[in-house]
Amino acid sequence: MSDIVITSRIRLARNLSDVPFTIKMNDYDASNVIDRVRDVILKNKQYHFEFFEIKKLPLIKRQVLIEKHLISPALASSKIKSAVAIDQNENISIMINEEDHLRIQVLYRGQQIQKAWEDANRIDDFLEQHLSYAYDETWGYLTSCPTNVGTGLRASFMLHLPALTLLGYMKGIIDTITKLGIAVRGFYGEGSEAAGNLYQISNQITLGQPEEDIIANVVSITNQIIEQEQQARLKLLSENRAFVEDKVYRAYGILKYARNISSNEALKLISDVRMGISMGIIKETTIDRLDVLLNLIQPAIIQDYFGREMTPEERDIKRAELIRKILE
């Protein structure tokens, strides 16, 4: 199933009770929250957090963190003073002064939502011991946006759904699951397109259900989508085998031999090859390698990888080189 679930993510939104929310914050409030949270985070001995003030990070480094899904684009471009704490394994990040004072996020590869929830819950418990949260007996965790109130929990999966997309089933699926309180977004979150046939599925309801039920609901709907994707792949194979084989081998050929490739084109081709591997068509490489590529081809990460800034043209050449090397 790991060939369909790319990542599992848990996010908890939290606020301090005695400071205005970020929309009404001044510089003093913003620094105050950062200082208090930093002091607490550095007390934690279980995880090894590194702390960054966003404004002190070069733009390219911020972009790398966005591409690794460790911070949101909103945090990177925040007008108020903001920060992030990232654990050394880069699975956990705590964003400070994003839409809420605190956004605890845990992200793992594959289907590991339970593990992600346990980590997030543990970190939340720890922070709560030292900070006074905005919480109400009736409404639970008080958040900046009414769509997050209650648990403040967002449980999400990044899914790779090439066959459902190819067969034109995605619109119908999105319509259906939206009615079930599940949101669907593209690779880079809100408003982004489903580039590379990657879809982010997450709960929309945060109030009136316990955390475990919210997660179970997202898991159950995700499992149904996975099943449909598997059915769709079988259908493609039995009815259009020649077409599918041609499609994935062409994609593999371009990735393996191209000398110049944009991140968008690479993403599309990686998606095709990835499907080809899981269908048993392509045996020359592995899903794991394709997932490494999925990260590495992104514009800022590729510059980070080579340790220097590059023009877009130079990036496209280096990207092709890197893809060839990894597919060797």
15 binds another protein (CB under 8 A): yes
Out of 119, 211, 265, 291, the residue judged to bind another protein by CB under 8 A? 211
Letters for 152-181 (x = contact with another protein by CB under 8 A, - = none) are -x---------------------------x
For residue 133, with 0-12 CB atoms within 10 Å meaning exposed, 13-18 middle and 19 or more buried, which class applies?
A: middle
Smallest separation (angstroms) from another protein to the CB of 191:
10
Q: From the CB of 287, what's the least distance to another protein, in Å?
A: 35
Q: According to the annotation, is 278 in a ligand binding site?
A: no
Query: How many CB atoms are located within 10 Å of the residue 170 CB?
Result: 18
Q: Is 62 annotated as a binding residue?
A: no
CB 103 within 8 A of CB 11: yes
Cα separation, 42 vs 51, in Å, equals 9
User: Minimal distance in Å, beta carbon 84 to another protein?
Assistant: 21
Cβ proximity of 152 and 143 under 8 Å: yes
For residue 111, the one-letter residue type is Q
Instruction: Find out whether 157 is annotated in a ligand binding site.
Output: yes
Candidates 147, 223, 228, 230; binder of another protein (CB under 8 A) is: 147
- Nearest CA to 117 out of 11, 7, 213, 223 is that of 11
Tokens standing for 39?
């002091």
CB of 155 vs another protein, minimal distance in Å: 12
Work out whether 97 is an interface residue with another protein (CB under 8 A).
no
CB closer to another protein out of 147 and 228: 147
Contact criterion met (CB below 8 Å) for 104 and 123: yes
- Choice between 151 and 303, CB closer to another protein: 151
Instruction: Find the shortest distance in angstroms from Cβ 142 to another protein.
Output: 5
Residue 206's CB is within 10 A of a number of other CB atoms, namely 23
Token pair for 293: 């590529």
CA–CA distance, 325 with 144 (Å, rounded to integer) = 46
Q: Which of residues 98-137 bind another protein (CB under 8 A)?
A: 99, 121, 124-125, 128-129, 132-137
Cβ contact 120:103 at 8 Å:
no
Q: Which residues are annotated as a binding site for ATP?
A: 7-11, 69, 103, 154-158, 185-190
Positions in the binding site for another protein (CB under 8 A): 15, 17, 19-21, 23-24, 99, 121, 124-125, 128-129, 132-147, 149-151, 153, 181, 205-211, 214
